[in-house]
């Protein structure tokens, strides 16, 4: 009799695969990991929401600034609109830092405060110097501002609103 050939295809049998491993119930480590991820997502969401809520005044100020800028572009009477910029930045600063810290500041102290809160010198030595002129000069002198000066002042105000460091969080 012939000995069977071990390499013959007739000797092959179907592979029997084991039953799949059940996913349920998961190991306790998965419960701990899931709970940790849930807590972290909740915590980051709460921080993000609080930040968004605390910056409501900033978003509103930027919307108002955009409206002023649109009016300045479409209007030839900048002297009537320029006084709105110092009022806007003062209201924004009061919302960010509180009335007691900001309301009494005027002149160079006010400009120094603005520079200090964004770590720059744009208000004491740059285009932001015009902010005091917009507050106190008559309309005839405001009409003498060039369009470049007005644009630089708008940029300075916009920069301050966007970048100031808010150390005091208050509800508005």
Q: Across all residues in the chain, what is the average pLDDT? A: 86
For the chain, what percent of residues have pLDDT higher than 90? 47
For 128-170, write each residue's pLDDT tens digit.
Answer: 888 888 888 887 788 788 888 888 999 999 999 999 987 654 4
pLDDT of residue 72: 80
Which residue in 157, 150, 75, 85 sits closest to 115, CA to CA? 157
**For residue 108, how far is the Cα from the chain centroid?**
28
Q: What is the DSSP string of 84-133?
A: HHHHHHHHHHHHHH-HHHHTT--HHHHHHHHHHHHTS-TTTSSGGGHHHH
Burial tier of 113 (Cβ tally within 10 Å: 0-12, 13-18, 19+): middle
Tokens coding 150: 């007005």
Q: Are 86 and 131 in contact (CB under 8 A)?
A: yes
For 10-67, write each residue's pLDDT tens digit.
Answer: 777 788 889 888 888 888 898 999 999 999 999 999 999 999 999 999 999 999 999 9
**For residue 35, how far is the Cα from the chain centroid?**
30
Tokens coding 136: 């106190």
Task: Compare 79 and 67 and report the one with higher pLDDT.
Answer: 67
How far is residue 10's CA from residue 22's CA, in Å, rounded to a whole number?
35
pLDDT of residue 171: 42
Tell me how far CA of residue 36 lies from CA of 24, 49, 50, in angstroms: 20, 20, 21
Task: Read off the pTM.
Answer: 0.74
pLDDT of residue 172: 37
pLDDT of residue 167: 62
Q: Are 134 and 119 in contact (CB under 8 A)?
A: no
């Amino acid at each position: 009799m012939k000995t069977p050939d071990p390499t013959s295809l007739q000797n092959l049998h179907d592979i029997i695969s084991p039953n799949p491993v059940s996913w349920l119930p998961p190991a306790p480590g998965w419960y701990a990991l899931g709970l940790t991820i849930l807590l972290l997502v909740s915590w980051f969401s709460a921080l993000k929401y609080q930040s968004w809520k605390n910056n409501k005044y900033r978003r509103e100020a930027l919307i108002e600034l955009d409206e002023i800028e649109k009016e300045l572009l479409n209007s030839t009477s900048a002297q009537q609109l320029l006084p709105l910029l110092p009022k806007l930045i003062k209201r924004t600063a009061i919302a960010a830092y509180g009335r007691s810290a900001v309301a009494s500041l005027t002149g160079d102290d006010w400009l120094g405060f603005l520079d200090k809160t964004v770590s720059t010198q744009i208000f004491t030595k740059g285009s932001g110097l015009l902010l005091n002129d917009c507050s106190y000069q008559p309309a005839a002198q405001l009409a003498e501002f060039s369009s470049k000066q007005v644009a630089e002042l708008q940029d300075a105000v916009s920069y301050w609103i966007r970048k100031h460091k808010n150390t005091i969080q208050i509800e508005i």
